[in-house]
Amino acid sequence: MCYKENKNENYSSLIGIISSNYRGNGIKPYKKYVHEYFSQGGGLLYISSKYKENDTVDCLAKLWELDIVYLCNNGQIIFIPREDFFDRKRINVKEFLQILTKGLNKLNIEESKKKSIYLAVDSFWVDFFKEDFGNLYNNLLKLCRTKKSSAILRYIIEELQEECIYSIFINHEYLFVDGVEDYKVYTPKNLMYESINMVSKYDIMKRMYEKEMMRIEHLKTLGEMMEGTVHDINNLLVTILGYVQLSMNIKELKEIEDYLRIIYRTVMDGQIIVDRFKHHIKGSYNSLKNIYKFNDIVKSCIDMTEHKFKSSIGKKGNLELIIDLQSKGFVYVNEYEIRQAIINIILNGIDAMDEGGQMVIRTYDIGNQAVLEISDTGKGMDEQTKSMIFNPFFTTKGNEGTGLGLSIAKKVFDNHKAKVFIDSELGQGCKFTIYFPLGKKIYKVAELNDREYNIN
């Protein structure tokens, strides 16, 4: 079962499938082969727990998209309770083989049709690998050859111990590896080579992936910024248009000059908005670390997200922003990376306040550390969510979140030797407190141009 017909003669009757619990419900690499197998009259002995038979039926129905109850009633699937061949937590191999033999004989299929035994090897079976699982392999292989059937062992790899892997490799001539819509077939030697090859490339690929994810988060922040930028530019255009129209309808030169000065200042405000946006697009993605005034970095983050508070009125309740920046310190950082990380925390806090609320952003110095506090009055988090919030791909936003923003932010803080603490309870809001080591003030300090960030 579950392997391509034209390859059948090349594989032994003891089939190993390398699988994972992480594949999810949407990944069904064997579905079409299972359909073909049963539609052609094949039969299956499925070994499972008698205490979970109903759950197993439901699971297989969803996974294979078949009427499992019909196949059971038709005699094409028989469930074998694993409890029937255990003797004091050990496999009674003789009894096991007898039960399988009776089951294969009982399958209601024609003699010419295929028969298979299916066993999912998970953490339950680990202890038996430590005993004499090789003996079980050999006896299964003999039974399959005698009864002209196949035994399919699906290994849930993250539930097995390292010593189990050796048994898998030496007892299978071929191994099938789950894919997304199909599977790949390897000899143990091929699979070892591919695995070592992947491990050798893993760190490089991981670093490239993280850089790409940072770029995606950067683009996401640009999208957030565009909301405020478009709004601000539209307001400037309205101001310019108004004073141009007034200038066209008056003859007093002095008054026209006053209006032109206002138009000039408004145009310069527009230039500041454009410069700020250009600065964020270019960022300093590849820049090295430098000494910055800590408050300057935090101010730039606030300016880039402040529009979210202004645009919230009438949409999801009023959002209030309270700013208290008391730090006098300097930090040695990659300004772009730290700015992105802080913005991410601010935006997450805003998203958590569906019905409106208050965000407080504070900085201060304590000892040899600059401290940033970002607190909100949003939904808050339970202990489980708090423990997982920095895990890659973990999100509470459903399809709207990537689950990568805070994970990347945490990595950035770690790389800068910054410590992050979360104080939150469900329904009681959330506070991030981040401690940055202070850098030595040197003669030349990298400046963030105020002109690029202050448009009021």
User: Any idea what the CATH number is for the domain that residue 135 is in?
Assistant: 3.40.50.300
More confident residue, 259 or 336: 259
> Tokens 């699979």 sit at which residue?
191
Same domain, 301 and 154: no
Helix locations, 42-89, DSSP H:
53-64, 68-73
In a domain, 375, yes or no: yes
**Amino acid 334: pLDDT:** 85
> Tokens 């138009």 sit at which residue?
263
Q: For residue 440, what is the domain's CATH number?
A: 3.30.565.10
In a domain, 424, yes or no: yes
Same domain, 316 and 388: yes
* 211 CB-near residues (< 8 Å, 6+ apart): none
Beta bridge partners of 419: 435
DSSP 187-209: -HHHHHHHHHHHHHHHHHHHHHH
pLDDT at 453 over 50: no
Using pLDDT thresholds of 50, 70 and 90, give the confidence band for residue 447. low
Range of the domain at 50: 5-186
Same domain, 181 and 286: no
Same domain, 165 and 246: no
Examine the fold and report which residue of 171, 186, 201 is the final residue of a domain before the chain moves on: 186
* 24 CB-near residues (< 8 Å, 6+ apart): none
Same domain, 177 and 290: no
pLDDT at 321 over 50: yes
- How many domains is the chain built from? 2
- pLDDT for 55-102, tens place per residue? 889 888 888 889 999 999 999 999 999 888 876 667 788 888 999 999
In a domain, 123, yes or no: yes
Examine the fold and report which residue of 186, 207, 240 is the final residue of a domain before the chain moves on: 186
* 192 CB-near residues (< 8 Å, 6+ apart): 169
What is the Cα–Cα distance from 4 to 364, expressed in whole angstroms? 66
> Tokens 């439901």 sit at which residue?
58
In a domain, 209, yes or no: no
What values do phi and psi take at 398, rounded to 5? 65, -135
C-alpha angle 389-395-401 in degrees, rounded to nearest 5: 135
Amino acid residing at 257: E
Reference 349, options 370, 377, 369, 324; nearest CA is 377
> Tokens 């026209």 sit at which residue?
256
Contact 361, 323 (CB under 8 A): yes
Which tokens is 160 given?
């097995």
- pLDDT for 204-243, tens place per residue? 887 787 778 777 777 776 776 676 567 567 767 877 887 7
Examine the fold and report which residue of 166, 186, 206 is the final residue of a domain before the chain moves on: 186
Same domain, 149 and 45: yes
- pLDDT for 335-363, tens place per residue? 878 887 898 899 889 888 888 899 999 99
Helix locations, 292-352, DSSP H:
294-305, 307-310, 335-351
In a domain, 203, yes or no: no
In a domain, 247, yes or no: yes
**Amino acid 232: pLDDT:** 62
Contact 431, 423 (CB under 8 A): yes
**Amino acid 31: pLDDT:** 78
Same domain, 173 and 238: no
Helix H or strand E encompassing 376: strand 369-376
**Amino acid 123: pLDDT:** 77
Same domain, 254 and 173: no
Same domain, 294 and 406: yes
In a domain, 207, yes or no: no
DSSP 135-166: HHHHHHHHHHHHHT-EEEEEEEGGGS-HHHHH
Contact 239, 260 (CB under 8 A): no
Contact 96, 85 (CB under 8 A): yes
Single pTM value for the model: 0.49
Amino acid residing at 389: I
- pLDDT for 407-434, tens place per residue? 878 888 998 999 999 999 998 999 999 9
Same domain, 126 and 244: no
CA distances from 433 to 248, 342, 394, 403 (A): 55, 11, 21, 20
**Amino acid 108: pLDDT:** 78
Same domain, 370 and 261: yes
Same domain, 367 and 423: yes
Cβ of 410: how many Cβ atoms within 10 Å? 18
In a domain, 208, yes or no: no
CA distances from 34 to 115, 117, 142, 262, 374 (A): 12, 13, 24, 75, 53
Can you say whether residue 294 is alpha, beta or left, with left for phi > 0 and alpha for psi between -120 and 50 degrees? alpha
What is the Cα–Cα distance from 20 to 214, expressed in whole angstroms? 28
